[in-house]
Amino acid sequence: MLLTLFYILSAITLATAFLTIFSKNPIHSAIYLVLCFFSIAGHYLMFNAQFLAIVHVIVYSGAIMILMLFTIMLMNLNKEDEKNKSMLTRISAVISFCLVAFVLLAAFIKAQPVITEYKVSGQDYQSIKVLGQVLLNEYMVPFEFASVLLLVSMIGAVLLSKKEHINN
Amino acid sequence: MENILQQIGIENYIYLSTLLFCIGIFGVLYRRNAIVMFMSVEIMLNAVNLLLVAFSTYHQDASGQVFVFFSMAVAAAEVAVGLAILVAVYRNLNNIDIDNLKNLKG
């Protein structure tokens, strides 16, 4: 039952990721990417990581994809005007994809797990309560620096998108 | 307490994340629309996040999930700055084809 669910979710994830790359229209790419993100949130729910599933939907499907869709509409890119890449580039992209996938998969198939017998300790480690305690005790300083990073990126985005032309 | 990894196994998640990461690499190499390349980078980040959550469940440790939380914050910052750069490029060149961005060539 769970295995079937895993295979269905994985098929959706991989298929929508491929469709993101192969659709000519950037708006279609964005919509397929939203589907891909939702299926990954489904994977998180299967791990019983509720907090991450919710944050993933909010951040990726809610914030990042809306930002991308707004940029696509702002630049008026919702048409298929991409010129074809040269055949050489396409063939080398396909070859490098196959090689990377082959090497990584071969390495992982040959690997043996350290723990052969997997036991569940029964301890609660991923509820929102435990995650909050770990985040604010152990990872307090990185948490504060993440807020500084977001502030800096916000200021940077505002500065970069101010109207200013390069003098040629 | 039930655990998902007893029924599915960590190796299936490793294969899934590897394939997803390779699809991301393929997208960066294959397309030349800068926005679609950004989306491919997001796919790669998500593949890594998925594997981090899988191993956090495997070791039954909350640190992996906290790390995914930080990686999401970095991804959000990266997309905001990157899209602002793309808007600035579009304003000056009127397209976002990466083949036109050759001015930084040494």
Tens digit of each residue's pLDDT (9 = 90 or more) over A80-120: 666 666 788 889 989 999 999 999 999 988 887 776 677 77
Task: Give the closest of A94, A120, A135 to B3, CB-based.
Answer: A120
Is the pLDDT at A168 greater than 90, yes or no? no
Q: What is the pLDDT of residues A54-70, one digit of tens each?
A: 999 999 989 999 999 99
Same domain, A12 and A75: yes
Asked if residue B92 belongs to a domain, the reply is yes
- In a domain, residue B69? The reply is yes
Q: Please tell me if residue B93 touches chain A, with a CB cutoff of 8 Å.
A: no
pLDDT of residue B9: 81
A7, A68, A82, best to mutate vs chain B, most B CBs in 10 Å: A68
Q: How many structural domains comprise chain B?
A: 1
CA distances from A6 to A11, A44, A46, A130, B28 (A): 8, 11, 8, 26, 27
Distance from CA of B106 to the nearest CA of A (A): 18
Would residue B28 count as lying in a domain? yes
**ipTM for the whole complex:** 0.90
pLDDT of residue A167: 58
Is residue B1 domain-resident? no
CATH of the domain at B48: 1.10.287.3510
Q: Flag whether A105 is in a domain.
A: no
Q: Does A82 touch chain B (CB under 8 A)?
A: yes
- All residue ranges of chain B with pLDDT < 50 are 1
User: What is residue A121's predicted lDDT score, i.e. its pLDDT?
Assistant: 74
Contact A43, A9 (CB under 8 A): yes
Examine the domain organization and report whether A6 and A74 are in the same domain: yes
Q: Is residue A142 included in any domain, yes or no?
A: yes
Specify if A23 maps to a domain: yes
Query: Would you call A75 and B90 a contact, using CB atoms and an 8 Å cutoff?
Result: yes
Q: Closest Cα partner for B13 from B61, B62, B48? A: B48
pLDDT at B1: 47
Look up the domain containing A145 and give its range.
124-162
Neighbours of B72 (CB within 10 A): 22
**pLDDT value, residue B92:** 82
